[in-house]
Amino acid sequence: MTVTIRPPKSCDKSAWQDLWRQYNAFYGRDGDTALSEAVINCTWARLLDPDEPVIGCFAEQDHDVVGLAHIVFHRNLIQIADTCYLQDLFTVPEARGGGVAQALIHAVGDLCQARGVSDIYWHTHRDNSAARTLYDRLATNTEFIVYRTHA
């Protein structure tokens, strides 16, 4: 089925929220640890704000939103142009294996090119084999590991 990639519109909030909830649940942010309404509303507002470094891409099939990508542009101290962090990528289970995520990653590439950004990176878990099969085809595994703490 054809996949169309487009930016979010204000009327998409409930479709986005449904996918965003499923994506967060995939990462264990569910029930007691689900994102608060304040965070959800703030993220949605940022996705719609053209002055924000945060950008959303929606994948549509047959008029339904079936996938999303969220990216964040940020400074990079070893170059003048910004870098693109692909923070979130999700396809609804019913649409998986049909090239939705691949189309979203290509659309992110186009968006970056249009802004003069050539550097795109993202993280995934080593055990996420579905994602890694796709990523190994489209990008290079840097072998870096991620540390995190709380301030």
Ligand X SMILES: CC(C)(COP(=O)(O)OP(=O)(O)OC[C@H]1O[C@@H](n2cnc3c(N)ncnc32)[C@H](O)[C@@H]1OP(=O)(O)O)[C@@H](O)C(=O)NCCC(=O)NCCS
Q: Which residues bind ligand X (CB under 6 A)?
A: 26, 67, 89-91, 96-102, 124, 128-131, 133-134
| Residue 65 and residue 54 in contact, taking contact as beta carbons nearer than 8 Å | no
Q: Please state the closest distance from residue 81 (CB atom) to ligand X, in A.
A: 24
> Does residue 56 contact residue 74 with C-beta atoms inside 8 Å?
no
Q: What's the rounded Cα separation, in Å, for the pair 110 and 101?
A: 14
**Please, which residue, 120 or 131, has the CB nearer to ligand X?**
131
Q: How far apart are CA 148 and CA 49, in angstroms?
A: 28
Cβ closest to ligand X, residue 47 vs residue 134: 134
User: Between 101 and 117, whose beta carbon lies closer to ligand X?
Assistant: 101
As measured in angstroms, the least distance from the Cβ of 129 to ligand X is 6
Count of C-beta atoms within a 10 Å radius of residue 68: 26
CB of 104 to ligand X, least distance (A): 8
